[in-house]
Amino acid sequence: MKQLNLDLGEKSYPIYIGQNLLNQEELLISHISGKQVMIVTDAIVAPLYLSKVKNLLSSFEVIEVILPDGEEYKILDTVNTIFTALLEVCFDRSCTLIALGGGVVGDITGFAAASYQRGVDFIQIPTTLLSQVDSSVGGKTGVNHALGKNMIGSFHQPKCVVIDVDTLDTLDDRQYSAGLAEVIKYGLLGNADFLSYLQNNIDSLMSRDKNLVIKIVHQSCMDKANIVAQDELEVGKRALLNLGHTFGHAIENTLGYGVYLHGEAVAVGMLMAVKLSALEGFITNKEVQLVKDLLQKANLPVVISSKINYQTFVNAMSVDKKVINREVRLILMEKIGQAFISNDYQQSNLEQIIKGFL
Ligand code: GLY
């Protein structure tokens, strides 16, 4: 097992990465301080791993909530379902919520934990590649609004993150590829060596070589933990982790949540950001092609499959947490492996890129 520490002073926590971790009782229960535990999972993950996690918690009072699967359920109503279940059994402020599932379960559960009785503990057990490399680490929690992705939420750090890569054995290929989009993101935004590594090993990664999978999960978590430790609340550098996300969120919002998986929308969004960076004169068309090739080898989309109205798309882009004083700030590439946040791009270049994809 590998262990990382996200260094946030009193809020610091470990990230455990390895195989067979869902059989290791101590790992989990050493981070639970009270006696009451709620496991939140979804209809896909429950039959696979819920009893395994429950078995680790025999000395606790455990209740469970099984949510419907999908991004379209990442809404306030679902959070309310969790509050109702907690109140029905009178769970108090000493309780711990465990998020067992992908990014949607993690974000909803974290937000419920951030708000229930003004904040209770929670633990992340991510079971998809995307949640293992990104959303379970760093304490971003929340839900979508019909008018904007992740618009309602809170920063609330988990007590620990338990990443058992064996759970990826049951993950379908589409979800696995969606997770690779966020892995590629780390290479693009700040780690050119990692990007080369991914390019050189993409075939073995697509056949899910376990050692390679552990290596990329570990490297991604390390890169993310490093950035979050410097800028927990995203006043600066953490925004780089949103490479491709302003475009991606607009794709998800305009097509309807759940049509493109989050990672798929981010893949297209990253290509848009990379192409805009080339048009702005930072990187070459050859480098754009290398990124596109990698995304395609990872079985990720590089086009938007349905027609979207230009103005509708631009409006959706303006509902973004990086918008300040109505100015859309984008993450662009200064060079491959080095991103920066910009409000200084040519509007005509942005328009050309968006129109080229719609
Ligand atoms: N997923 C981007 C972040 O956690 O900041």
Token code pair at residue 25: 């009782």
Q: What is the pTM of this model?
A: 0.95
**The pLDDT of residue 202:** 97
Q: CATH for 2-170?
A: 3.40.50.1970
Token code pair at residue 24: 């290791």
Token code pair at residue 196: 């080369």
Find out whether 41 and 66 touch, Cβ atoms under 8 Å: yes
Q: Which atom of ligand 1 is nearest to the CA of 138?
A: 4
| CATH number belonging to the domain at 173-357, selected among 3.50.50.60, 1.20.1290.10, 1.10.10.10, 1.20.1090.10 | 1.20.1090.10
Distance 141 CA to ligand 1 centre (A): 10
Find out whether 207 and 299 touch, Cβ atoms under 8 Å: no
**The pLDDT of residue 265:** 97
Name the residue with tokens 């060079």.
335
Identify the H or E element spanning 268: helix 262-279
> Which residue has a Cα nearest atom 3 of ligand 1?
241
**The pLDDT of residue 127:** 98
Q: Which atom of ligand 1 is nearest to the CA of 241?
A: 2
**The pLDDT of residue 241:** 97
Domain(s) labelled CATH 3.40.50.1970 in the chain stretch across 2-170
Residue (of 279, 243, 284) closest to 356 by Cα position: 279
Q: Give, for ligand 1, the residue of 15, 149, 224, 331 to mutate: max count of ligand atoms closer than 8 Å to Cβ.
A: 224
Give the CA angle between residues 11, 218, 22 to the nearest 5°: 75
Domain(s) labelled CATH 1.20.1090.10 in the chain stretch across 173-357
Mean pLDDT by 10 residues, the chain (358 residues): 97 98 95 97 98 97 97 96 98 98 98 98 98 98 91 97 98 98 97 97 96 97 98 95 95 91 97 98 97 98 93 90 81 96 94 96
Distance 161 CA to ligand 1 centre (A): 15
Residues with CB under 6 Å of ligand 1 are: 134, 138, 140, 238, 241-242
